[in-house]
């Protein structure tokens, strides 16, 4: 299967396609990362899972439509950066969890620490949001589905209805975040 | 004066990537000086990051489950392969046993029939001091059938005096103790390092080969013993003819 075909499948697909790409490069990647960086079997798998998720997300975001290098080269470059950074941080006795890697991929850690407070509040607010809002905004912002696909999958009348619903869900989420931040500020002053 | 609700909509559209180039540039210009807009913008960015992290978490959980399945499948394949190898090895062993059992049982029978520990005819060759005590005890143990003690004491004697008679008795004591490898090494040492007792050494080496199921080697030793004129020649001829039947 060509890279462009794989990219098309991932952009249109979901977890089944993620599972396929995971299996495609798994053996070669694990062999390579273990040999090059002397990683344990578990660490190699952790690095591979994070690398695949970043590759997958970049494809979804449309960042890899016109690549100068192959999908495999790109994937291995992601893995190389994670392995090097893991080794560098490990020397400072800082264990790196997979979730932390994913968070670092989404948010620059050098940013203002107050943003971290907003992020934590947003995570809590998201859990309080409920369905179908939660699923809708996840499909839009994470899976990068268009409103047409969302309306079909979530049984909305049309793309416009889905878009209106998405705006309402985001407004609700912002309110929940504001409330959480207010409560946090109050509790910290007590 | 900018309406906060309008700014929220503007920021939302910025992250949706539905603003025109001009609208986008205008927003980015305002962000440098408008603290209130920057606050709205950062809050929206963190909310979207939190939504995306939730999605990544779900996919990570999916990959972890996939990995567990693949690892389990890999182990299953490995175990199946191992069982296949074991089954092949077991089949070969059974076939070999069926094919060679008659020969093995015959050679074992012949070994038991013909093997007798060589009599102590060398006692007088050991002389003097400490050796005399150890030697006497060794020969005594050998004659009394205490081959473990005999083997230990003959081993000490051989280190101090590489005597062909002691080597022959040591080899026999080791064979009586069922210590076949050591017996073979001792008798080969006798064969290699001395010019006497060669026929005796070959006879017992032939019996060891017979015991171990090495047919060709056994026949070679017995043929050499049979062709020589010594006390074992008649027995060697007899064993050879029975092996070749």
Count chain A–chain B contacts defined by CB atoms under 8 A: 93
Confirm or reject contact between B61 and chain A (CB < 8 A): no
Count of CB atoms within 10 A of residue B102's CB? 9
Q: How far is B154 from chain A, CA to nearest CA, in Å?
A: 54
End-to-end CA distance of chain A: 61
Confidence of residue B233 (pLDDT cuts 50, 70, 90): confident
Confirm or reject contact between B42 and chain A (CB < 8 A): yes
Interface residue ranges in chain A relative to chain B, Cβ cutoff 8 Å = 15, 18-19, 22-23, 26, 45, 49-50, 52-53, 56-57, 98-99, 102-103, 106-107, 112, 115, 118-119, 122-123, 125-126, 137-138, 141-143, 167, 170-171, 173-174, 177
pLDDT score recorded for residue B186:
93
- Written as six digits, the tokens of A112 are 């203002």
Tell me the per-residue pLDDT of A95-121, one tens digit each, with 9 for 90 and over: 457 877 888 888 866 567 777 888 889
Chain-chain contact of A15 with B59 (C-beta, under 8 angstroms)? yes
Q: Is the pLDDT of residue A67 over 90?
A: no
pLDDT score recorded for residue B204:
93
Confidence of residue B126 (pLDDT cuts 50, 70, 90): very low
Average model confidence (pLDDT) for chain A?
84
Chain-chain contact of A49 with B62 (C-beta, under 8 angstroms)? no
Q: Is the pLDDT of residue A164 over 60?
A: yes
Chain-chain contact of B43 with A23 (C-beta, under 8 angstroms)? no
User: A155 Cβ partners below 8 Å, 6+ apart?
Assistant: none
The single residue listed with the structure tokens 């069926």 is B98
Average model confidence (pLDDT) for chain B?
83
Tell me the per-residue pLDDT of B24-69, one tens digit each, with 9 for 90 and over: 998 899 888 888 888 899 889 989 999 999 999 999 999 999 988 8
Confidence of residue B144 (pLDDT cuts 50, 70, 90): confident
The average pLDDT across B4-12 equals: 86
CA count, 13 A, side-chain hemisphere, B117: 24
The closest CB to that of B42, out of A18, A49, A118, belongs to A118
Helix (H, G, I), strand (E, B) or coil at B21: helix
The average pLDDT across A53-60 equals: 90
């Amino acid at each position: 299967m060509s890279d462009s075909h794989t990219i098309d499948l991932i952009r249109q697909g979901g977890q089944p396609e993620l599972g396929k790409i995971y299996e495609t490069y798994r053996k070669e990647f694990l062999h390579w990362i273990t040999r090059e960086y002397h990683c344990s079997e578990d660490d190699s798998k952790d690095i591979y899972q994070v690398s695949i998720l970043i590759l997958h997300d970049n494809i979804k975001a449309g960042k890899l439509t016109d690549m100068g290098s192959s999908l495999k080269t790109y994937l291995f470059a992601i893995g190389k950066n994670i392995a090097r950074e893991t080794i560098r941080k490990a020397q400072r006795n800082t264990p790196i969890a997979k979730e932390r890697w994913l968070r670092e991929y989404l948010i620059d850690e050098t940013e203002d620490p107050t943003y971290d407070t907003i992020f934590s509040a947003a995570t809590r607010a998201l859990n309080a949001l409920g369905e179908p809002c939660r699923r809708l905004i996840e499909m839009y912002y994470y899976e990068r589905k268009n409103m047409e696909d969302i309306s079909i999958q979530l049984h909305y009348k049309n793309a416009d209805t889905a878009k209106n619903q998405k705006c309402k869900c985001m407004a609700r989420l912002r309110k929940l975040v504001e409330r959480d931040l207010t409560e946090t500020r109050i509790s910290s002053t007590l | 004066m900018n309406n906060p609700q309008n700014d929220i909509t503007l920021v939302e559209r910025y992250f949706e990537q539905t603003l025109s180039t001009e609208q986008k540039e205008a927003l980015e210009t305002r962000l440098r000086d408008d603290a209130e807009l920057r606050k709205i913008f950062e809050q929206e960015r963190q909310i979207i990051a939190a939504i995306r992290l939730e999605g990544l978490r779900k996919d990570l959980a999916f990959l972890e489950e996939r990995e567990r399945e693949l690892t389990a499948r890999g182990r299953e394949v490995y175990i199946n392969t191992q069982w296949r190898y074991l089954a092949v090895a077991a089949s070969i062993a059974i076939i070999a046993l069926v094919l060679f059992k008659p020969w093995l049982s015959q050679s074992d029978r012949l070994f038991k029939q013909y093997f007798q520990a060589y009599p102590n005819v060398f006692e007088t060759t050991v002389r003097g001091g400490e050796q005399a005590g150890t030697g006497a005890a060794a020969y005594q143990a050998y004659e009394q059938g205490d081959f473990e003690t005999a083997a230990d004491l003959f081993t000490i004697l051989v280190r101090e005096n590489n005597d062909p008679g002691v080597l022959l008795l040591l080899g026999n004591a080791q064979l009586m103790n069922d210590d076949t490898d050591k017996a073979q090494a001792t008798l080969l040492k006798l064969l290699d390092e001395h010019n006497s007792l060669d026929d005796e050494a070959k006879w017992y080496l032939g019996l060891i080969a017979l015991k171990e199921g090495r047919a060709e080697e056994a026949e070679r030793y017995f043929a050499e013993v049979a062709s020589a004129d010594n006390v074992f020649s008649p027995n060697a001829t007899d064993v050879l003819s029975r092996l070749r039947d």
